Every structure is written in structure tokens, then in C-alpha cells.
Amino acid sequence: MRLKRDSQGNYSYEYVADNEAIDDAQANLAQAQNDLYNFDKERYQSNLDDMLSAWRDFQSDYKDILEDTSLTEQERIERLALLREQYGEYINDKTAENLVVRNNLTESAFADLAALYNTDVENYN
């Protein structure tokens, strides 16, 4: 606030913004939003990599059980069923987690876009 005197001698308070502090705060906000987006993007990619790795492990273990000649047909069926159950649970959990991460990534992207659009509007004005 700044005390100001007009041409008739009247005093009034005028609000004066600290433009440097505002610019710093906006830059910090933009950086935080960008960091959040990058965090979500890396988490999404990591989650997809985990799912792919689990699928490859499942295929390898499945093949090993099929090729194991020491197993009876009943043991083979039981082990394959257990394998499907275990990997199915893991992959389903990763898929559910992936939905959450993808939603976070979308929200981060929209926040970034909103900030860019607001900047464009301010620059246009």
C-alpha cells in the first residue's frame, strides 16, 4: 500500500503490486506443474515397463512348465493355473494403478495447458 495525494490535497491509499514477486511466484508454479507432469509421465512409463516385464516373465515361466517333463499332466495343470492366478493378480493390480497414473498424467497436462493459455491471454491483453 502506498499513500498518495491527489491534486486537491486529498490523501488515499493505493495498492501497488510487487511485480517481481508475482513473476517469481508464477515461475515457481509453472516449474512445479512441469515437475508434476514429468513425475507422472515417468511413473506411467515405469508402470508400463513393469507390466511388460511381468508379461514376459509369465510367458517364460509358462513355457518352462510346459516343457518340464518331470511333471505329471495333473501337476502341470495345477502349476499353470497357479501361475495364471498369480500373474493375473499382479497384472490386474498394475492395470488398476495404471488408470490412476494415467488420470494424474492427464490432469497434469491439463494444468500445464491451462497455464499456457492463461499466459497467452495475458500477453494478448
Dist CA 64 CA 100 (whole Å): 34
Strands (E), the chain: 2-5, 11-14
Q: Which residue, chain included where needed, has cell 500445464?
A: 112
Dist CA 22 CA 54 (whole Å): 48
Task: Specify the pLDDT at position 118.
Answer: 74
pLDDT tens over the chain, length 125 residues: 677 888 888 888 777 777 788 888 888 988 888 888 888 889 999 999 999 999 999 999 999 999 998 999 999 999 999 999 999 999 999 999 989 988 988 887 787 777 777 766 666 66
- CA torsion sign for 8, 9, 12, 13 is positive
| pTM passes above 0.75 | no
Task: Specify the pLDDT at position 125.
Answer: 67
Residue 71, phi then psi, degrees to nearest 5: -90, 145
- CA torsion sign for 59, 60, 61, 64 is positive
Q: Are 94 and 47 spatial neighbours (Cβ–Cβ below 8 Å)?
A: yes
Half-sphere exposure of 56 (CA within 13 A, CB side): 6
